[in-house]
Chain A
Amino acid sequence: MERNLTHIALFAALIAVLGLVPKIDLAGGVPITAQSLGIMLCGTVLGARRGALAVLLFLALVAAGLPLLSGGRGGFGVFAGPSVGFLVGFPVAAFVTGWVMQRTTLSPGLSAWAASTIGGIGVLYVFGIVGIALMTGVSIQEASLGAALSFLPGDVVKTVIAGLVTQSLSRMRPASLLSRA
């Protein structure tokens, strides 16, 4: 019981830290925020249920007024802005990522990459694009084009990193992957 709680809390903190670090220069040159990498890792490492709860806890702290979203944003205002769809999609993305991770039997790295692509891009973009379309009045097609042009390259890099990190974790300490426990 306590372990569940502390894992959820520590991964919520990890998502926050990844958004605060100005640019870890993860990919060399490509200016990406690492926050959605945290969402993916929640799913691949903690699994569906705990991963989604960690993301919900993180969002609750953002709503409570801590400036933890990338770029130092926070408070209730972010839920009234154009990226609300992505925020709503975050916990669902972590859940689906964890679910795919738990259901596949490929090597941890490969499943983590596939799971992050399905959850962290596929599912997340559905929410994000619908959010942009609703909030800004552009059509779904135009919103999709905009999201693909501005976020897709960075997010593809992040799914690969999520796969590599999960692979290393499973090699260094197999028991640490709670999604595969």
Chain B
Amino acid sequence: MLTLTSPVEIWAHRVPAGGKLVALAVATTGLFALSSPGPLALALIATLCLYLTAGLRFARDGLRQLYPLWPFLLVVGLWHLWTRDLDSGLVVLQRMVTAVALANFVTMTTRLADMIAVFQRLAQPFERLGLSPRRVALAFALVIRFIPVMLDRLAQIDASWRARSPRRPRWRVMVPATLAALDDADRVAEALRARGGAG
């Protein structure tokens, strides 16, 4: 499956994932502490420079990742124009774009396996509650493996419905899809137990 990690390898890919996440947390907290448009504009420019250190192609990919935000930006922008509160409008918009762009930067420069390793490490303190790192990794792997399986099956259910009926199946595909998910869960559980359990 596609991940959001950028295919363009840059210097930040070599920074450890844990370090990037801590830096992201600090930077985002800082952004929310700033409440005037001036410093936030500087933060936005700094973020843009961060993207540009990775080259134009990477920066363009990063810009594309921000695209889903535009309806919100438009609505919030118009709203603040209408209430004639330009300062707080600028604060909100700049803060959101900067925070999302910084978070995307970390996502774009960290491989999925490294990110999952971080989650495993975070799970360690909860080992006694039944959340062992091994089990976390297994759960992640199961989800990733079963998404394409379920997509295929949903298409099959849809096709067999069309073969029987001229009407569209609509919500009714959900019943066999959910039943199949429950059956799969039982079968995978049996298979795991037969192989020594989930640990």
Contact = CB atoms under 8 A, between A and B. Distances in A.
Answer yes or no: are A and B bound together in one complex: yes
Interface of A: 1-3, 5-14, 16-17, 20-21, 24-28, 37, 41, 45, 57-58, 60-61, 63-68, 71, 73-82, 135-138, 142, 146, 161, 164-165, 168-169, 172-173, 176
Given A6-B192, A77-B100, A66 B112 contact: yes
A-B complex: 10 closest residue pairs judged by Cβ atoms: A75-B107, A76-B103, A9-B142, A80-B99, A2-B189, A77-B103, A64-B115, A13-B146, A6-B185, A77-B104
A71 B71 CA distance: 13
Interface of B: 1-5, 24, 28, 65, 68-69, 72, 75-76, 79-80, 88-89, 91-92, 96, 99-104, 106-108, 110, 112, 115-116, 119, 135, 138-140, 142-144, 146-147, 149-151, 154, 158, 168, 170-171, 173-175, 177-179, 181-182, 184-186, 188-190, 192-193, 197-198
Contacts of A27: 170-171
Interface of B is mostly: helix
Contacts, number: 191
Given A27-B171, A77-B107, A136-B76, 10 more contacts: A2-B189, A6-B184, A9-B188, A14-B177, A65-B5, A75-B4, A75-B103, A79-B103, A138-B76, A165-B175
A41 B178 contact: yes
B175 A169 contact: yes
Contacts of A164: 171
B115 A137 contact: no
A44 B102 CA distance: 37
A71 B182 contact: no
A80 B92 contact: no
B188 A137 contact: no
